[in-house]
Amino acid sequence: MGVPPPNLYALFQARFPREKSALFLEVDDPAGHVRYDAVETETGRLQAWLAELGVAKGDRVLVQVEKSPLAILLYLACLRRGAIYVPLNTAYTTAEVAYFLDDAAPRMLVCDPPREAALAPGAARAGVTHVRTLGADGAGSVVDYRRCAPDRTVAACDTDDTAAILYTSGTTGRSKGAMLSHANLAANALTLHHVWRWAPGDVLLHALPIFHAHGLFVALHCALLNGSRVRLVSGFDAARVVALMRDATVFMGVPTHYTRLLAEPTLDTAACGGMRLFLSGSAPLLASTHRAFTARTGHEILERYGMTEAGMITSNPYDGPRVPGCVGPGLPGVDARVVDDQGRECPRGEAGTLEIRGPNVFTGYWRMPERTAEEFRSDGFFITGDLATMADDGRVTLVGRAKDLIISGGFNVYPKEIETALDALPGVRESAVIGLPHPDFGEGVTAVVVPEAGAHLVEEVLIAALADTLARFKQPKRVFVVTELPRNAMGKVQKAALRTQLADTFTVS
């Protein structure tokens, strides 16, 4: 694969299609399409404009905007200039953005026009000199960049120079900014481009948000390395996504996308006839969803696993079995091991903490050297915080987040095991298992389940149904039936919210 050039933009640039009028970004209105030759000129103009405003190499550009071609060009322009792109979830409130303004200390804040008035005071307090909007016009709009002549250079970078800071979605404590270097992102992108067999003619159907590693890095970087066309979709309308599959070959989604696609009557083999690859990640894909999708479309979803701090870590194979419930072996170049509390490697098949090492692993948390040091072992392995088992052939199965591990009566209970048992019961669509404060057991195993459409679930019946499957200490002491589980934008079940909501279950009589 060769040594990647240090600036990630240069790596993409070297692979832009020879036919420069080839389309890069495609949106609903053809006037908004972006061709590959425009990527060069527009990011050139944007970086000249950034320079004019004093944004230098290493300066942070904090961005809270909806998905659009211009937002993607701005990201690429920051890479090109060597500025550090810091995207924020569009759901963050003004108070939350104020934290990121203080923490990231950016040179510039870019937001959507309706947010400007609310965010400006926090930006001023944090000493941010420029607030710009991604609106169509107006004095403070980014489109002002169009008057600048393109700067055709690409900033020279050292291998460890930070390309982006992505804040972890941390549910407790302060959100941490993971610094990803140009080299981290390049290494991961080259590997994924290779293992997922990107080839000429591939077209990406992009329905993910672009403030998270999945949509911003995994999806866009693969497409850019391939000189591919990217069909951008904002929001997730399953019927539209199915209709657009007729003109695409690759789709990347979170598990919720797949359940919504399955609920869409037009999804069938004909609709996916031209598709080559369906990928899933960011949250666990139910085995039942995996099977139902294959039955309906003839395509086996390829599940992979990663995290903000490391990009992609494992992937099911492109050829060979894509095992439901398993996230595959470590990617080429990524060392993965499962260790116990003492840091000793666990026997194969036994659950422990997953640790990884590789060129994709971030350089550290922004301005948190102590936190960074705590999360790395002395031999360079990063402690992912995920609990997993590893099979003899190296395939990894995740069994829960370390912080979600339940210790009941002194015994470890891995939520995934209980969830899998519950999901297999008739009438159960999905479940989330958590530990709640319990006067006798320390933590009481508690399940929250969602019924299949039309099914009526009864707590006592569900508990009794697990009696023969699970050891007594693993059996849920309470089961709550709900219509849906709380999820974030990436489809992750918010277990912390469930724990808060149900905190008094065993302690208040």
Binding site for ligand AMP (CB under 6 A): 168-169, 213, 281-284, 303, 305-308, 327, 384, 386, 398, 401, 490
Among residues 9 and 362, whose Cβ is nearest to ligand AMP?
Answer: 362
Among residues 132 and 357, whose Cβ is nearest to ligand AMP?
Answer: 357
Residue 388 neighbours by CB distance under 10 Å: 24
Among residues 244 and 250, whose Cβ is nearest to ligand AMP?
Answer: 250
State the minimum distance, in angstroms, from the CB of residue 313 to ligand AMP.
8
State the minimum distance, in angstroms, from the CB of residue 281 to ligand AMP.
4
Q: Where are the beta strands (DSSP E) in 8-138?
A: 23-26, 34-35, 60-64, 84-87, 108-111, 130-133
CB-based contact 249:278 (threshold 8 Å): no
Ramachandran category for residue 33: left, alpha or beta (phi over 0 → left; psi -120 to 50 → alpha): beta
Among residues 227 and 306, whose Cβ is nearest to ligand AMP?
Answer: 306
Side by side, the strands of the sheet bearing 352-357 are 335-339, 352-357, 382-390, 396-401
Query: Helices 287-297 and 255-262 meet at what angle, rounded to 10?
Result: 50
The DSSP code for 345 is B
Q: Where are the beta strands (DSSP E) in 426-487?
A: 428-438, 442-451, 478-481
Distance of alpha carbon 277 from alpha carbon 301, whole angstroms? 7
Distance of alpha carbon 258 from alpha carbon 252, whole angstroms? 10
State the minimum distance, in angstroms, from the CB of residue 193 to ligand AMP.
19
Among residues 242 and 279, whose Cβ is nearest to ligand AMP?
Answer: 279
Among residues 143 and 489, whose Cβ is nearest to ligand AMP?
Answer: 489
Among residues 284 and 359, whose Cβ is nearest to ligand AMP?
Answer: 284
State the minimum distance, in angstroms, from the CB of residue 481 to ligand AMP.
24
Provide the pairing of β-strand 428-438 with 442-451: antiparallel
Nearest 10 degrees: Cα torsion 389, 390, 395, 401: 30
Among residues 240 and 401, whose Cβ is nearest to ligand AMP?
Answer: 401
Distance of alpha carbon 216 from alpha carbon 167, whole angstroms? 13
Q: Where are the beta strands (DSSP E) in 316-418?
A: 335-339, 352-357, 364-365, 382-390, 396-401, 406-408, 411-413
Q: Which residues contact 472 (CB under 8 A, 6 or more apart)?
A: none
Among residues 213 and 271, whose Cβ is nearest to ligand AMP?
Answer: 213
State the minimum distance, in angstroms, from the CB of residue 365 to ligand AMP.
13
What is the DSSP track for 309-341?
A: TTEEEEE--SSS---TT--BSBPTT-EEEEE-T
